Amino acid sequence: MLKSGPGAIALPRSASPLVKAKQLLYAHFERPDLDMTERYLVDFGLVQAMRSENELFMRGTGTAPYIYRVTRGRNARFLGMGLSVPNAEDLERLARRFGSRVERAPGPGGGAVVHLRDPDGVAVHVHHGFVESEPLVVRSQILHNAPSLTVRVNDTQRPKLEPPQVTKLGHLVLETPDFNRSVRWYMDTFGFIPSDVMCLADGTPVGSFTRLDRGSEPTDHHTVFIAMGMESKVDHVAFEVVDLDAVEMGQQVLMAKPYRHAWGVGRHLLGSQIFDYWRDPWGQKHEHYADGDLFDAVQPAGYHLMDRGGLYQWGPDLPDDFIDARMTPARLWRVLKLSIKDKARVKLLLALKNSMARPGRQWQR
């Protein structure tokens, strides 16, 4: 871990956020084929909540009306996310601050919504007053015998070979060309707290795991991870399942389908989740995870070096194509244009790319 001061550059919490987000509700994507999308999501473990000709809403086992929204369109792209806030006054405050308005929310659950855009143009839909769904029955967490504790006698462990039940959308990872601007916007607008900050060798922050501020109530280690990248995009969306067996069973089920495995099974270092990543038919990464860390608002931020080794404690080596750092012609052109007006940021982007590369594959400035 890097030390604050001469090592890592501190990323302070917002002293007075506009509101405090309560929950990450859903991810929103555009897809050209709703049938293909739904087949993948059902195999992944989600359940249809509502569907029309041009919209698909999928839920988990929890009370959120939906955790995944898909709009039919020509492109395969990320459209945005949904958050909730605890009070109707929060919606009014956001609407006044950003020149928006409170509207009736579409889709299951109803309620009210304010539509915002983050500094990179990512849509952030903020909800309140929706009707929660009845939770679905979830199998009990499997108890494991250990040398010091016997919990299963004259019984067996036989989980069904079926898609794992997804309990909720746990987090998503956003990339942005301007890390400082984006992370401050989410912290100042929604009260997100930095849990662990990723830094370059000189201590410059280039990524942050941020969590909800629920005071003394523990919450997931991260809800939104914001990281510097060559463009604005979502790297992956992550869904919680009940235990390690569910993660492994998800891999077993998806391996028998025509989908592409991305990485796993392993255990992350920061957040501690047991993970397994898969790509949907358009290449978008989706994560099954279990057994993540929980922090309350007292826990201070940690500072860590950004490198490949910081991504996991155990598991298969990080595949070369997991982090999409290819210098495509479009990206090279973007970097060249950026170098004319902001050489410092280009230097940071190249340093970030080198920090995640295998030895011997660094880019030279």
DSSP 52-109: -SSEEEEE-SSSSS-SEEEEE-SS-EEEEEEEE-S-HHHHHHHHHHHT--EEEPPSTT
- pLDDT band with cut points at 50, 70 and 90 for residue 323: confident
CA distance 140 to 186: 35
Residue 30 token pair: 């555009």
pLDDT of residue 333: 60
pLDDT of residue 143: 87
CA distance 242 to 139: 8
Q: Collect all residues with Cβ–Cβ distance below 8 Å to 300 and sequence separation of at least 6.
A: none
Region for residue 80 given its phi and psi (left: phi exceeds 0; alpha: psi -120 to 50; beta: otherwise): left
Instruction: Count, in order, helices (H) and strands (E) of the chain.
Output: 6, 19
Determine which of 115-119, 241-245, 308-312, 335-339 has the lowest per-residue pLDDT on average. 335-339
pLDDT > 90: percent of the chain: 78
- Greatest Cα pair distance in the chain: 71
- Strand 205-211 relative to strand 102-104, pairing: unpaired
- pLDDT band with cut points at 50, 70 and 90 for residue 13: very high
Name the more confident of 2 and 140. 140
**Averaged pLDDT score across all residues of the chain:** 91
Name the more confident of 79 and 3. 79
The model's pTM is: 0.91
Determine which of 87-101, 271-285, 306-320, 331-345 has the lowest per-residue pLDDT on average. 331-345
Kindly report the CA angle at 264 between 258 and 267, in degrees rounded to 5?
155
pLDDT of residue 46: 98
CA distance 125 to 112: 10
pLDDT > 70: percent of the chain: 87
Q: What is the CA radius of gyration of the chain?
A: 21
pLDDT of residue 334: 61
Determine which of 20-24, 138-142, 171-175 has the lowest per-residue pLDDT on average. 138-142
In the numeric block, the tokens 């973007």 are attached to 334
pLDDT of residue 4: 43
Instruction: Establish whether the linkage from the previous residue to 265 is cis, with ω within 30° of 0.
Output: yes
Q: What is the mean pLDDT of residues 149-166?
A: 92
pLDDT at 362 over 50: no
pLDDT at 18 over 70: yes
Q: What is the mean pLDDT of residues 19-30?
A: 98
- Strand 68-72 relative to strand 23-31, pairing: parallel
Closest Cα partner for 221 from 80, 24, 87, 10? 24
